[in-house]
Structure 1
Amino acid sequence: MADERGVEAVEQWFRRRGLPAVVRGRPAHLLVRTTPAVVFIAAWQLLTAVLNAVDGQTDADFDRLLDDDLFALGYGGLLLGLVVVPGLSSWLTARWVRRKLVDRGGDVPAAVMATGFVVVVPIAEWLLEDGSLPFGLVAQAAILAGLFAAAFVGVGSIVGWALRAAFRQLRLLGELTSRVLPLLLLFTVFGFFTTEIWQVGAALPRQRMWLVVGLFAVVAVVFLLAMLKAEVTTLTQSRTAPVGLDKLRETPLAPFLAGDVPAERLPLTKLERANMVLVLVLTQVLQTLVLATLVFVFFVAFGIIAIQHSVIKAWIGRDPASGTLFGIQLPVPEELLQVSLFIAAFSGLYFAASTVTDAKYRTAFFDPLADHLAVSLVARDLYLDARKR
């Protein structure tokens, strides 16, 4: 094959496409590879600790504090930071990691960040929330060990590519909202104004509501697994060499395009087939999560604007409670959050089924993923054939 650096570039290309099972070399630079996840989790934990310290009040005290415009503005900024900062920090770190992997460097900064993750974050949480420092140190070390294990087996590569693919699909946000949301809203808005759904939402504890959401999620994943396993089988039995070769000219595999693509494809191993199915399923799940989040935000905003507390009281027979989400207090009624969660979970299940069965949604949201795997299969043929030389 090509020189060692060329081999690493090809293998890194497969990992960036979410296909670590294709790579025949041993995983390397694990400390650097885990850094984006370390940064994301650390930022989330620190911001959550700050929010918990700020809102550690009774419901009445928190509502009184929200009447102060300055407090409300600052608290809203923290909530926005919790949404934006971890993802943005992780994305910037991932760009740094890609450069360092090419240069075979970055071990020292990665070690510093890992040390801060294990030591500094628990100390900060202990100071802000008065928890158990020894437990925090052990828990952070266990999380870091889990990230190392995930990087070793390639989970990080799969999740990273699926996240990038899902965010690339955000360019289809207009198409998503124009094709999917109107039909969903036609049914869900009427359900949103029924007394029964509010009574159910008010009666269910949050843990039970998460079980309902989890049930919808399990049904969606099982359906996607059944459908996408068949899609992978179809892809592996077809040859798309001309299209694939054309798309590989700007990749590290370009030096191998002078030769012919092997006439016979080496059968996929069970691990490679599972990897490809997992890439498709995880990407579809993340796209579904984007849609469900949009629906959730829409109904929360719609409920704040359209439904007064007196109406909620008439529906559920008591005053609405202050809302919390992931342990963080929000200036939103708890019952509105419950109902919005239920409708968002149902909408996600509908979208997951539609993307692989409805021709309109399939063209926009699934076919690009199928093309991605088709090109990757051609690249795999070239890579494995070159390794035998």
Structure 2
Amino acid sequence: MTAPPTTEEVEEKAPEPLTDKAVEQWYGRRGMTLMLRGTGVGGDTADRAAPVLVVLFLTSMLLIVPWLTTANAAASLAVALVMLLAAWVGGNLLGRRRPFARIRHIGWFEAVAFVAAPTFAVIASPLSAEVVEAVDLPRMQVRLFAGALVAAWQVLQLAVVFLIVMFGLVSLITWLLREVWRSLGETGSALSATLPVMLGVVFFFFINPGVWSTMGRLPAWSYLQVMLLLLLLAIAFLSSRRQFDLRALTRFEHREDVRAALVDTPAEHVGDDDLPATPLTCPLTRRQRLNAAIVAVTSRLVVAFVIALAVFSFFVVLGTIAIDAATITRWTGAQPSVIGQLEGFGSRPYLLTWEDVRVSGFLAMFSAFNYSIASATDNRLRHGAAGAVNDVIRQACAVRLVLLQRSGRLEQAEGESAQR
């Protein structure tokens, strides 16, 4: 006769209930909070962006505005405080909140105030002598010019914060780095076979004088354009439907498919009544489909950049050891730009030059581009982080279906998705 289970054993075996907090945390750690939109779970982007934007707004008003307008510190501080209080109180009154309540949501008024308050504070305050002397224009035009710069800076901050929060880029990259580290053991044999071949190919570019005379002496803006071109080509290839089939990931033919996708998610133990009728495709908005594509493409790019970092480090060290100033001059037709040097054991110092860094950076980006293509076409390299991300996207769709089913919004979401 077996003894009855203890209370601790019963609690240990009992499944955790499906809570909004657990769901939101699960999506947030994977950079997919946008997938919660329409389910009734999860805060709005404007709510989650509010704390960061409040800190940036205070920084602009209390640091940037006084720095640009130090001709009269008291007047500048007074103008900044008036603008700050007007934005704070005005936003709360429009939102029918207490005048000095904490800002928890960024609406249209808060977004306009985020840009307009520092701009008008700079225009209305006496400018510092350094700013006036730096621009050879009449004083009023200088004020308008400084205000335009501050406005552009505020708009840039607003856009970047909303994009980062909307797509959860910080959480996504953190999770992907963990997946890359975990999957290195799984793909180690494939990488050990691929990386030497890749290094062997790009090695001949490294000792090619033509590469040094072009990439080593290319102007900074042109160099960045070349790097950006390689990055965009890799993204375009990895985001093609042949490499990332979102329709297949969001399609569930049977309830068992939904149940299988819910394993290791907060909704793993939901009842059969919470499972939607199948077959069906998870309804997604355009931004949610874009979010899934960003997650899928970024997963492969993170692995590619890890490879690029290894290639970059290898060639920087190789160039410092093996290529001297005379060789760089002969290849590029100009004296090298030395970053630093170390006295070696032989007759010449070891030089770290900008030419070496530029060439190594180009070869690293080329290797990342090459690996992105290889990882999409070589079955040995498709596993790891990229495969894990595909599983996570399918899990996110399954949990979304459960949430829509429980809230009674599934038919509405399907109708909205069909209209798009």
Please give the range of the TM-score, normalised by the shorter of the 2 chains.
Answer: 0.5 to 0.7
| Partner Cα distance (1:308, 1:197) in 2 | 16
Corresponding position: 1:322 with 2:338: yes
Structure 2: gaps spanning 5 or more residues: 1-17, 57-101, 107-113, 119-127, 135-144, 341-350, 410-420
CA contact (8 A) 1:292 1:347 kept: yes
Give deviations 1:45-99, integer Å, cap 9, x for gaps: xxxxxxxxxxxxxxxxxxxxxxxxxxxxxxxxxxxxxxxxxxxxxxxxxxxxxxx
Aligned partner of 2:166 in structure 1 is 155
What letter matches 1:299 in structure 2? F
| Partner Cα distance (2:339, 2:394) in 1 | 46
Aligned partner of 1:275 in structure 2 is 291
What letter matches 2:181 in structure 1? L
Aligned partner of 2:196 in structure 1 is 182
Q: Give matches, 1:336-375, under 5 Å.
A: 336-375=356-395
CA contact (8 A) 1:323 1:335 kept: no
Q: Give matches, 1:84-99, under 5 Å.
A: none
Aligned partner of 1:287 in structure 2 is 303
User: How far does residue 284 in structure 1 lie from its aligned partner after superposition?
Assistant: 2.2
| Partner Cα distance (1:349, 1:238) in 2 | 33
What letter matches 1:301 in structure 2? V
Matched residue SS, 2:303: helix
What letter matches 1:216 in structure 2? L
Q: How many residues align?
A: 300
CA contact (8 A) 1:300 1:336 kept: yes
Aligned partner of 2:213 in structure 1 is 199
Matched residue SS, 1:226: coil
Aligned match for 1:141, one of 154, 160, 171: 154
| Partner Cα distance (2:53, 2:310) in 1 | 24
State the percentage of identical aligned residues. Answer: 24
Give deviations 1:359-385, integer Å, cap 9, x for gaps: 011023421111111212221111110
Corresponding position: 1:301 with 2:301: no
Greater relative CO, 1 or 2 (CA 8 Å, sep 6+): 1
What letter matches 2:310 in structure 1? L
| Partner Cα distance (2:28, 2:404) in 1 | 15
Aligned partner of 1:170 in structure 2 is 181
Aligned partner of 1:51 in structure 2 is none
User: How far does residue 182 in structure 1 lie from its aligned partner after superposition?
Assistant: 1.3
CA contact (8 A) 2:216 2:355 kept: yes
The 3 A distance-change label for structure 1 pair 12 and 202 is closer
| Partner Cα distance (1:109, 1:245) in 2 | 33
Corresponding position: 1:235 with 2:235: no
Aligned partner of 2:417 in structure 1 is none
Given the two structures, how large is their TM-score scaled by the length of structure 2? 0.60
Give deviations 1:109-160, integer Å, cap 9, x for gaps: 999xxx9xx99xxxxxxx9x99998677545533442245336xx5342x13
| Partner Cα distance (1:323, 1:207) in 2 | 20
CA RMSD of superposed structures (Å)? 4.1
User: How far does residue 320 in structure 1 lie from its aligned partner after superposition?
Assistant: 0.7
Aligned partner of 1:16 in structure 2 is 29
The 3 A distance-change label for structure 1 pair 322 and 134 is farther
CA contact (8 A) 1:228 1:277 kept: no
Matched residue SS, 2:315: helix
User: How far does residue 317 in structure 1 lie from its aligned partner after superposition?
Assistant: 2.9
| Partner Cα distance (1:297, 1:34) in 2 | 39
Aligned match for 1:217, one of 208, 226, 231: 231
The 3 A distance-change label for structure 1 pair 227 and 341 is farther
Structure 1: gaps spanning 5 or more residues: 41-106, 120-126, 325-330
User: How far does residue 275 in structure 1 lie from its aligned partner after superposition?
Assistant: 2.4
What letter matches 2:283 in structure 1? L
CA contact (8 A) 1:38 1:144 kept: no
Higher helix share: 1
Corresponding position: 1:388 with 2:388: no
User: How far does residue 307 in structure 1 lie from its aligned partner after superposition?
Assistant: 1.6
User: How far does residue 172 in structure 1 lie from its aligned partner after superposition?
Assistant: 4.0
Matched residue SS, 2:334: coil
| Partner Cα distance (2:192, 2:394) in 1 | 29
